[in-house]
Copies of this chain bind each other. A is one copy, B any other.
Amino acid sequence: MIIHVVTLFPEFFREALACGLMGKAMESGLVAFDFINPRDFAADRHHTVDDRPYGGGPGMVMMLGPLCAALDAIDTPGPLLFLTPGGRPFDQEAARTLAQAPHLTILCGRYEGIDARLGDLYPLRPVSVGDFVINGGEAAALCVIEAVARLVPGFMGKFESADEESFSSGLLEYPQYTRPEVFADIPVPDILLSGDHARIAAWRREQSLAATLAVRPELLPEAGLTARDVEYLREKKGPGLGRNLYVALLHGPVLNRQGKTGTTSLTNLDVHDIARVSRSYGLGGYFVATPLDDQRALAEKLVSHWTHGPGAASNPDRSAAMSLVRVRRDLGEVTDEITRERGVAPFVAATSARAEAKDVFTGFARLRELLGERPVLLVLGTGSGLAPEVTCLADGFLPPIRPFDAYNHLSVRSAAAILADRLLGDVG
């Protein structure tokens, strides 16, 4: 495989690529590098490669002339990667595909970036190695080069493995141990000394699952789990962040379709559906709030039917869900109760289907962080949404669901399900 690297700093790579297995692969001819410096193609005697951006702003931009001449100097470029934080994330799957090609060209940006017209002239594939900013594409290019080159057949020695590692299985790696058997009073896990290969393989699989659950739970749903894996994770998981999440469904004060403040009546399936979501996601509690006495009595009767009446015996699953429901008068009662119960006031997050709010939204990532620290109360409005009398009491607003579509009319039941899933996913 020949890797062409277009860079203002060829010397960045020289020693780095000479190390370890990469150095051996170069010696054996398995991988070869070809460095092309746009500076060698600059038209003026100062070898200028950058200029100030049109439209102003800090920094310098790489000029088209030297870049185009550098790319044109490559006879067989193969796939043409351009390293930029604005690119598609580079991953093991991309490495596998690129390792099949006999040629690969990697363009390293520097300064504030390159003249964007380069993308109109060459089939650039912008890729990013991570959500951080570095001084140029060179360090990222080293990562891509290593990830790709080590998958070229023959690169890894016969005792090493390119495959049995993180992301090959979709799970993080299991822990490794080597001699001595006891170090600083810490022994190697017994099972690794047992010689029982099947049990060792099972233990390592569980360790991989546990590591992924702890550090990268979002990888689990895509990891091709077996039924046995799922069972292990169920035992291992324990209560998630959900125990800090509470939901309140307000029937007043809410807006009607004319935008006036009022009270809505109870909807049977709102109570059921959101209770089932609350139980499935392990929530701390689900409050149904209405200022009307007869509506509260009705709600209590409904809940009681399923928790203590005939429904409890006929459907224990539904009973488990409905037992999370607490019927209360208003938001104040709810927040007071959570505060008493938890010893700290909840962060009150209001929800709205409208994106016109002047407020800065509290994003889902931020709310997940908050869930790790304190109780969070998600306030949902019936009717046409929460009235200003309620929203002014909120500590933050969640962004609307599907804000970039003109149509945005989910039922409050659907919204509750989606919000719980966005905050907690399969694992939280």
Contact = CB atoms under 8 A, between A and B. Distances in A.
Contact of A222 (B8, B130, B363): B363
A143 B131 CA distance: 11
Contact of A150 (B135, B138, B422): B135
Contacts of A216: 88-89
A389 interface: no
- Among A132, A237, A409, A411, which residue has the most Cβ atoms of chain B within 10 A? A132
A16 interface: yes
Interface string A105-123: 0000011111111001100
B86 A172 contact: yes
Nearest to A162: B133
Interface in A174-197: 175-181, 183-184, 186, 188, 191-193, 197
Given A179-B51, A277-B410, A358-B227, A86 B173 contact: yes
Contacts of A173: 84-86, 113
B176 A89 contact: no
A402 B422 contact: no
A404 B230 contact: yes
Given A160-B58, A276-B411, A178 B52 contact: yes
A265 interface: no
Contact of A165 (B133, B277, B281): B133
B410 A164 contact: no
A224 interface: yes
- Among A176, A204, A317, A414, which residue has the most Cβ atoms of chain B within 10 A? A176
Contacts of A355: 227, 230
Contacts of A365: 222
Interface in A331-381: 355-358, 360-361, 363-366
Contact of A133 (B58, B168, B414): B168
A291 interface: no
Contacts of A55: 177, 191-193, 200, 204
Contacts of A166: 84-86, 133
B130 A281 contact: no
Contacts of A121: 184, 186
B176 A114 contact: yes
Contact of A16 (B13, B120, B318): B13
B9 A20 contact: yes
Interface stretch (A34-42, A59-67, A74-82, A244-252): A59-67
B160 A110 contact: no
- Among A90, A164, A222, A402, which residue has the most Cβ atoms of chain B within 10 A? A402
Nearest to A320: B407
A146 B160 contact: no
Contacts of A178: 50-54, 60-63, 115
Contact of A135 (B22, B61, B68, B221): B22
4 smallest CB-CB distances across A and B, nearest first, come from A116-B175, A55-B192, A414-B417, A85-B166
Given A139-B142, A417-B418, 19 more contacts: A16-B16, A58-B164, A84-B173, A85-B167, A85-B172, A92-B131, A92-B132, A112-B161, A132-B143, A133-B166, A135-B150, A221-B363, A222-B365, A224-B363, A227-B355, A276-B409, A279-B407, A401-B421, A403-B426
